[in-house]
A = this chain, B = another copy of it.
């Protein structure tokens, strides 16, 4: 079940930070219309164009109702944009850890570089913490799952260092990309992606 088509209200549990919202057939239509309009606006003009007024105007859903379903503009945008990342990033299966990680980091790097909305959303979560759970659920969760799969394969093959946990491994390969994305001190080219992957896999110290 994709999170994008799930409309059941959330009442506690692992995702308790995600706001509960009405769930009837009317609400489902409203929910979908809001997300669709938001995706269009994000594609056209980035996060800045997806103001709540613009979303309301285009979707035909009133502002008051939008705020019944989401806690903030950032949350709406994160849920709306979230699915696009997973769709754009197929899970590689090259037969080796080096191949798998290299391919995945290149893909993610290219996605970041060509989709400014990603950086805008991440930045928005800093000033609007209510958006963070949405960002994690609809954006990061898929990436972390993908890496977990690659990692387990590498462990099974005896290629991965079992002293490293998968969370640390994930952050080690994606962290540098995020850093560059945010501060802009280095480009996000495929060559740079490969250098990061090689350094992460091989380590900084001499063997």
Q: Point out residues on A near B: beta carbons under 8 Å.
A: 48, 97-98, 101, 119-120, 122-127, 129, 132, 135-136, 140, 154, 158-165, 167-169, 171-180, 182-186, 192, 195-196, 198-207
Contact = CB atoms under 8 A, between A and B. Distances in A.
Contacts of A205: 97-98, 154, 159-161, 201-203
B171 A206 contact: no
Given A175-B177, A195-B165, A206 B160 contact: yes
Given A162-B206, A205-B160, A206-B160, A182 B122 contact: yes
A127 B117 CA distance: 11
Contact of A126 (B163, B182, B202): B182
A78 B7 CA distance: 42
Contacts of A176: 168, 171-172, 175-176
Given A161-B205, A199-B168, A183 B119 contact: no
